[in-house]
Amino acid sequence: MIKEAAAIYSVSRAKLHRLIKQGRIEATRDPRDERVKLLRKEELDSLFLTGTGEENEVSYYTEANTEKTVGRITAAMAARMDAIRERIAARGVIVRDSAEIIREEREKRSRHLYEVATGIDQESSAE
């Protein structure tokens, strides 16, 4: 079923529906329930798995030391990503998480709006 395939292959149901509409995978109606579409496992395997035997689920740790699963990638792809990270680290550049940057900017904006609303920031409210 589409819902099960989406969970197994870590893709959205919308993506599977798009692939069916494009004709890249074939869906058949379930004879027991006309509302349900069935997909062939072999088609999905060939589309979503590389078939090299090298693919594995790769996890990396975020700055908060929590494990984050990235997905299925080959060992060669993981090695390239690690090499890039090592080059960046060697230059001394600290790569911050974008969520942290967004959170800081939202807090600044919230403080600014609060100051304008309460009349604390007279210069900005005069503009």
- Domain containing 13 equals 2-48
Check whether residue 74 and residue 105 sit in a common domain: no
Q: Is the domain of 88 the same as that of 58?
A: yes
Residue 48's closest CA among 71, 64, 14? 71
Question: How many residues make up the chain in this entry?
Answer: 127
**pLDDT, one tens digit for every residue, the chain (127 residues):** 888 888 888 888 898 998 898 888 899 998 888 888 899 988 888 888 755 444 455 555 555 555 555 555 667 777 787 777 777 777 765 666 677 778 888 899 889 888 888 887 555 445 5
Q: Are residues 10 and 37 in the same domain?
A: yes
Does residue 97 contact residue 63 with C-beta atoms inside 8 Å? yes
Q: Cα 41 to chain center, whole Å?
A: 23
Whether residues 104 and 81 fall in one domain: no
The tally of domains found in the chain comes to 3
Q: Is the pTM of this model over 0.85?
A: no
